[in-house]
């Protein structure tokens, strides 16, 4: 039996009523997304059309492995709700996701929320990744939360933030602010900042690095800022 | 001759890969269509491994009286084939072997041979029509035997010792001394149900009840045949006076079953999307694809796994009904150099050239645009045919390139008509956004080479 600490309270990880953090995402991290819950990656829609697809898929891949392991059943599916019709499955397979586990939905924009909700509700689905452009209401986010609890998987919503996006309305276990970060010639980087999460350090920022040639990706901690110290006197 | 040699001789050559399974399905479909002339239609023999033309055998015994004679019947079949655009050679003979031999040596005119003139008609035919293997044919030719009549004239008792048992068997089948059984194509009456009303039905709930009634009839027929549904077609015809189009909906199931509650739910998902404002008078529910029952024992210890899989299949059936079958995709990898052709949606019972073993390269973007977008790129050095991208403009923004990796040269599939080679660059701008660009060299006016740049995807 596994026990985890959430909000200074010990909970069994199979407890139906609780969102449980997932382990194993990176050695340096306790957890990044929660199972049986909705997690959000927020992005700036005015930053050159950037959408954090790779960080979402990287987290989804690890989440899928963990959900499948905990469910002790067959490999569950990863559903990618692709309302932009640009998702490229070979890139996901190259990251180590079995093609049999991958399903792509291409609904119309007005059907994205209902399609994602229905997938989250299904116990055969491990992870649902959906890009939600339209503003969500309080009823919508509550539905997402209930659907994730019922399905037992991980919900990953990619939402823009800013004016008229209603991004402040949420019922998510974790919320991350994601933005591209300058990389190197063969290393691409993203910056993830935690802005909401129970039992975690709000404001914590981590970097996700992807190596172009090997396809390997891993999380790294940002070095802590240097503490200002008074100059040491020569006499001491 | 290789495809390259053939293309050099004929510039407009269209190359299509051989697909024996598909050819067989097409031949079976044609054979089933021909059952309108006779109930007994068979496909050609399977053991014949040489590249002989595809053959269908129609047993016309007793059928000529329904078509005012054998000549008219043969003429109808010939005309039908011509209307399909299928080049055919036809012959009518008392035996299977003789009809095939006469057909393959015949020209476009159908030939009818009776029992009295059978041997006389076969004698001048070449020995290739005997369907023998190459070794026996070689032996016969070595002895100077070129026609069937010369082989028939040989002493019958010596033939097995000198040429093996196949020659005497084929000669007997040719003349009718030995029967040649063929396997008939099984014809199954399609499962179709329909209801017609005098006045249009407009209420979606009434329409749903109508389809439930049709579904009950279809399930009764499926139960009688021990079959399960794979695909359902709903057809709703409006009254002719309104001038509105017939509505057609297809429901494809991820696994064959005949669970009424699930099927009713799928029908409702479709009915609620139909515009019923002017109503419909005729309703059809067809089952074009069904499969035999295959009752497997359910899992004893891993029941949770079976439950999860069942839930997943039901989910995708519901989504297919609600969003459309094309909106729910099970990806399949395909062997291709071109990035946009490296995957395809897995089609129902029609697998493509899947490459499950070859993993895609990790340097592919997660976002690939359906069509490459032409962009303006500044190269460094200034010679843009070989230089690396320095900055580019896309979507009203200028992106200064901080890092560029490439080129990765991907040759296009010339045998599909794509001739241009692409040089791909993986570039990152100053913000950290990464893009996948490629350059194509064109021959411009005055025989100069011109580079064009395209944005094909994003690493985001």
Contact list, B326 vs chain A (CB under 8 Å):
106
Q: Which of B147, B175, B203 is the last residue of a domain?
A: B175
Q: Which residues of B touch A50 (CB under 8 A)?
A: 433, 460
- Whether residues B31 and B101 fall in one domain: yes
Task: State which residue of chain B sits closest to A189, comparing Cα positions.
Answer: B432
- For B99, other C-beta atoms within 10 Å of its C-beta total 21
Whether pLDDT at A234 is above 60:
no
- In terms of domains, do B144 and B254 share one? no
Q: Is residue B1 part of a domain?
A: no
B215 in the same domain as B152: no
**A227: burial class by Cβ within 10 Å (0-12, 13-18, 19+)?**
exposed
List the structure tokens of A35.
Answer: 């199972």
> By the 8 A CB rule, do B247 and B236 touch?
yes
Q: Which residues of B touch A52 (CB under 8 A)?
A: 460
Nearest CA in chain A to B333: A90
Instruction: Report CB contact under 8 Å: B366, A92.
Output: yes
CB atoms within 10 A of CB B459: 23
The reply to whether B15 falls in a domain is: no
Q: Among residues B144, B175, B206, which one ends one of the domains?
A: B175
Q: Are residues B140 and B167 in the same domain?
A: yes
Picking from A52, A99, A184, the nearest residue to B460 by CB comes out as: A52
Report chain B residues whose CB lies below 8 A from the CB of A184.
403
Asked if residue B141 is part of any domain, the answer here is yes
Q: What is the pLDDT along chain B (460 residues), one digit of tens a residue?
A: 787 888 888 878 888 877 888 888 888 889 989 988 998 898 876 554 455 667 889 999 888 888 888 889 999 998 999 999 988 888 999 998 899 888 888 776 778 888 888 888 888 888 888 888 888 888 888 888 889 888 888 888 888 888 888 888 888 888 888 888 888 888 778 889 999 998 889 888 999 999 999 999 999 998 888 888 988 999 999 987 767 888 998 888 877 888 888 888 888 888 888 888 888 999 999 998 888 876 655 555 556 666 777 888 888 888 888 888 888 888 888 887 788 888 888 865 444 444 555 566 767 889 999 888 888 888 877 666 678 888 888 888 888 988 888 788 888 776 666 667 888 999 998 888 899 998 888 776 666 777 888 999 998 8
Two structure tokens written together for B370: 């359906």
CA distance B76 to chain A (A): 48
Residue B304 sits in the same domain as residue B403: no
Does B460 contact A54 at a Cβ distance shorter than 8 Å?
A: yes
Contacts with B424 from chain A: Cβ below 8 Å: none
Number of domains in chain B: 3
Q: What part of A 18-77 touches B (C-beta under 8 Å)?
A: 47-54, 57, 71-74, 76-77
Question: Using CA atoms, how far apart are residues B401 and B235, in angstroms rounded to an integer?
Answer: 55
In order of A123, A149, B51, B239, the CA distances from A144 in angstroms are 14, 9, 60, 43
Question: From the CA of A81, how many Å to the nearest CA of chain B?
Answer: 9
Q: Indicate if B159 and B245 belong to the same structural domain.
A: no
pLDDT more than 70, % of chain A = 76
pLDDT at A105 over 90: yes
A110 Cβ under 8 Å from any chain B Cβ: no
Bridge partners for B437 per DSSP? B425, B455
Beta bridge partners of B195: B283
Contacts of residues B167-171 at CB distance under 8 Å and 24 or more positions apart, as own/partner, are: B167/B130, B167/B132, B167/B136, B167/B140, B170/B97, B170/B130, B170/B131, B170/B132, B171/B130
CA distance B399 to B382: 18
User: Contact at 8 Å (CB) between A81 and A109?
Assistant: no
**A42-100 per-position pLDDT tens digit:** 998 888 788 999 999 988 888 888 777 776 666 688 999 998 899 999 998 888 888 88
Three-class DSSP labels, chain B = CCHHHHHHHCCCCCCCCCCHHHHHHHHHHHHHHHHHCCCCEEECCCCCCCCCCCCEEECCCCCHHHHCCHHHHHHHHHHHHHHHCCCCCCEECCCHHHHHHHHHHCCCCCEECCCCCHHHHHCCCEHHHHCCCHHHHHHHHHCCCCEHHHHHCCCHHHHHHHHCHHHHHHHHHHHCCCCCCCCECCCCCCEEEEEEEEEEECCHHHHHHHHHHHHHHHHHHHHHHCEEEEEEEEEEECCHHHCCCCEEEEEEEEEEECCHHHHHHHHHHHHCCCCCCCCEEEEEEEEEEEEECCCCCCCCCCHHHHHHHHHHHHHHHHHHHHHCHHHEECEEEECCCCHHHCEEECCCCCCCCECCCCCCCCCCCCEEEEEEEEEEEEEECCCCCCCEEEEEEECCEEEEEEEEEEEEEECCCHHHCCCCCEEEEEEEECCCCEEEEEEEEEECHHHCEEEEEEEEEEEC
Q: Are B122 and B216 found together in one domain?
A: no
B348 occurs within a structural domain: no
How would you class B421 by CB atoms within 10 Å of its CB: exposed for 0-12, middle for 13-18, buried for 19 or more?
A: middle
Domain that holds residue B443: 367-459
DSSP bridge partners of A176: A41, A194
Cα Rg for chain B, rounded, in angstroms?
A: 31
Cis amide leading into B134 (omega within 30): no
- Residue B64 in tokens: 């000529």
Helix or strand holding residue A144 (H, E): helix A138-151
Omega before B381 cis (within 30°)? yes
Long-range contacts of B34-42 (CB under 8 A, 24+ apart): B34/B58, B34/B77, B34/B80, B35/B185, B35/B187, B37/B63, B37/B67, B37/B73, B37/B76, B37/B77, B38/B63, B39/B187, B40/B184, B41/B184, B41/B185, B42/B182, B42/B183, B42/B184, B42/B185
| Euclidean distance between CA atoms B78 and B274, whole angstroms | 43
CB A34 within 8 A of CB A173: yes
State the best of B324, B332, B362 to mutate against chain A, taking most chain A CBs within 10 Å.
B362
Are residues B316 and B230 part of one domain? Answer: yes
Nearest by CB to B312, which of A86, A88, A122?
A122
- Closest-CA residue of B relative to A104 is B329
A76, A103 Cβ separation under 8 angstroms: no
Judging contacts by C-beta atoms under 8 Å, the chain B residues touching residue A180 are 431-434, 460
Q: CA of B457: which chain A residue's CA is closest?
A: A86
**CB < 8 Å from A in window 299-328 of B:** 302, 304-305, 307-312, 315-316, 318-319, 322-323, 326-328
Whether residues B37 and B148 fall in one domain: yes
B66 falls within a domain: yes
Q: Which among A41, A89, A125 is the top mutation candidate for probing chain B, defined by the most B β-carbons within 10 Å of its own β-carbon? A: A89
Sole residue written with tokens 């929320």: A113
Indicate yes or no: CB of B362 within 8 angstroms of CB of A183.
no
Residue B360 in domain? no
Using a CB-CB cut-off of 8 Å, the residues of chain B touching A57 are 366
Rg (CA), chain A: 19
Residues on chain A touching B327 (C-beta within 8 angstroms): 105-107
Q: What is the C-alpha separation between B429 and B458, in angstroms, rounded?
A: 12
Domain boundary residue, one of B286, B305, B322: B322
Contact A71, B302 (CB under 8 A): no
Decide: residue B192, CB within 10 A, 0-12 exposed, 13-18 middle, 19+ buried. middle
- Angle among Cα B423, B457, B410 to the nearest 5 degrees reads 25
With CB atoms and an 8 Å threshold, state whether A90 touches B363. no
CA dist B268 → A112, B139, B222, B323 (Å): 20, 69, 21, 13
Interface contact A48-B399, CB threshold 8 A? yes
Rounded Cα–Cα distance for residues B108 and A210 (Å):
66
Residues of B in contact with A51 (CB under 8 A): 367, 460
Residue A16 is predicted with a pLDDT of 38
Same domain, B386 and B414: yes
Probe site for chain A from B428, B435, B455 (most A CB atoms < 10 A): B428
**Domain assignment of residue B328, yes or no:** no
Complex prediction ipTM? 0.79
Minimum-distance CB partner of B433 among A104, A180, A184: A180
Q: What is the pTM of this model?
A: 0.64
B204 and B161 assigned to the same domain: no
Distance, CA of A14 to CA of A21 (rounded, Å): 11
Provide the shortest C-alpha distance from residue A194 to chain B (in Å): 19
Contact B356 A99 (CB under 8 A): yes
Q: Does A106 contact B at CB distance below 8 Å?
A: yes
Q: Among all residues of chain B, which has the CA nearest to that of A182?
A: B432
Residue B258 is assigned to a structural domain of this protein: yes
pLDDT digit string (tens) for A176-223? 899 999 888 888 899 888 888 766 677 778 888 888 888 888 888 766
Question: Which CATH number fits the domain that encloses residue B264?
Answer: 3.30.1490.100
What lies within 8 Å, CB to CB, of B11 at 6+ separation is none
By three-state DSSP, how is residue A105 classified?
strand
Are B304 and A123 a contacting pair, CB within 8 Å? no
Same domain (yes/no): B309, B267: yes
């Amino acid at each position: 039996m596994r026990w985890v600490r959430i909000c200074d309270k010990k909970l069994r990880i199979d407890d139906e009523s609780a969102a449980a953090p997932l382990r194993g995402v990176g050695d340096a991290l306790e957890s990044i997304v929660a199972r049986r819950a909705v997690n959000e990656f927020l992005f700036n829609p005015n930053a050159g059309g950037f959408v954090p697809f790779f960080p979402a898929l990287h987290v989804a891949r690890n989440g899928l492995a963990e959900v499948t392991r905990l469910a002790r059943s067959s490999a569950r599916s990863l559903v990618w709700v692709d309302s932009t019709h640009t998702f490229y499955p070979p890139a996901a397979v190259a990251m180590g996701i079995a093609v049999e586990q991958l399903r792509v939905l291409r609904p119309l924009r007005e059907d994205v929320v209902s399609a994602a909700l229905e997938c989250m509700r299904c116990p055969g689905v491990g992870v649902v990744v959906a890009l939600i452009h339209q503003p969500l209401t309080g009823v919508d986010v509550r539905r997402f939360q209930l659907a994730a609890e019922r399905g037992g998987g991980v919900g990953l919503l990619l939402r823009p933030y800013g004016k008229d996006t209603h991004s402040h309305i949420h019922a998510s276990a974790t919320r991350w602010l994601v933005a591209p970060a300058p990389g190197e010639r063969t290393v691409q980087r993203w910056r993830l900042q935690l802005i909401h999460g129970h039992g975690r350090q709000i404001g914590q920022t981590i970097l996700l690095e992807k190596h172009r040639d090997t396809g390997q990706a891993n999380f790294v901690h940002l070095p802590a800022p240097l503490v200002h110290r008074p100059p040491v006197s020569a006499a001491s | 001759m290789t495809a390259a040699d053939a293309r050099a001789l004929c510039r407009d050559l269209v190359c299509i890969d051989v697909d024996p399974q598909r050819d067989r399905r097409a031949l079976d479909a044609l054979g089933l269509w021909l059952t309108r002339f006779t109930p007994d239609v068979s496909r050609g023999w399977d053991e014949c491994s040489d590249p002989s033309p595809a053959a269908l055998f129609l047993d016309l015994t007793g059928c000529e009286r329904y078509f005012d004679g054998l000549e008219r019947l043969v003429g109808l079949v010939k005309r039908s084939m011509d209307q399909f655009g299928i080049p055919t050679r036809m012959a009518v003979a008392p035996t299977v072997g003789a009809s095939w031999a006469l057909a393959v040596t015949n020209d476009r005119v159908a030939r009818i041979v009776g029992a009295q003139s059978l041997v006389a008609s076969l004698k001048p035919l070449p020995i290739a029509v005997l369907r023998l293997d190459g070794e026996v044919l070689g032996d016969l030719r070595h002895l100077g035997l070129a026609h069937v009549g010369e082989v028939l004239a040989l002493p019958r008792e010596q033939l097995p010792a000198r040429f093996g048992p196949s020659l005497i068997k084929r000669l007997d089948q040719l003349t009718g001394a030995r029967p040649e059984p063929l396997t008939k194509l099984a014809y199954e009456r399609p499962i179709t149900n329909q209801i017609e009303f005098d006045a249009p039905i407009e209420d979606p709930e009434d329409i749903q009840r109508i389809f439930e009634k049709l579904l009950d009839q279809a399930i009764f027929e499926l139960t009688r045949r021990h079959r399960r549904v794979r695909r359902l077609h709903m057809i709703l015809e409006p009254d002719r006076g309104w001038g509105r189009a017939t509505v057609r909906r297809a429901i494809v199931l991820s696994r064959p079953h005949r669970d009424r509650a699930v099927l009713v739910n799928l029908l409702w998902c479709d009915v609620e999307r139909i515009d019923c404002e002017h109503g419909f008078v005729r309703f059809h529910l067809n089952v074009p694809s069904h499969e035999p029952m295959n009752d497997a024992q359910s899992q004893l210890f891993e029941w949770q796994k079976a439950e999860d899989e069942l839930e997943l299949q039901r989910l995708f059936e519901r989504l297919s009904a609600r969003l459309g079958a094309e909106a729910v995709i099970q990806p399949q990898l395909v062997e291709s150099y071109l990035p946009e052709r490296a995957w395809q949606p897995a089609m129902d019972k029609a697998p493509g050239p899947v490459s499950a073993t070859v993993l895609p390269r990790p340097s592919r973007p997660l976002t690939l645009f359906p069509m490459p977008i032409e962009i303006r790129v500044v190269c460094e050095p200034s010679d843009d045919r070989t230089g690396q991208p320095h900055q580019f403009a896309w979507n009203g923004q200028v992106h200064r390139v901080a890092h560029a990796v490439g080129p990765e040269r991907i040759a296009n599939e010339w045998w599909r008509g794509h001739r241009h080679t692409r040089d791909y660059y993986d570039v990152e701008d100053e913000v950290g956004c990464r893009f996948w660009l490629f350059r194509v060299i064109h021959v411009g006016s005055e025989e100069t080479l011109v580079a064009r740049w395209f944005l094909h995807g994003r690493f985001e």
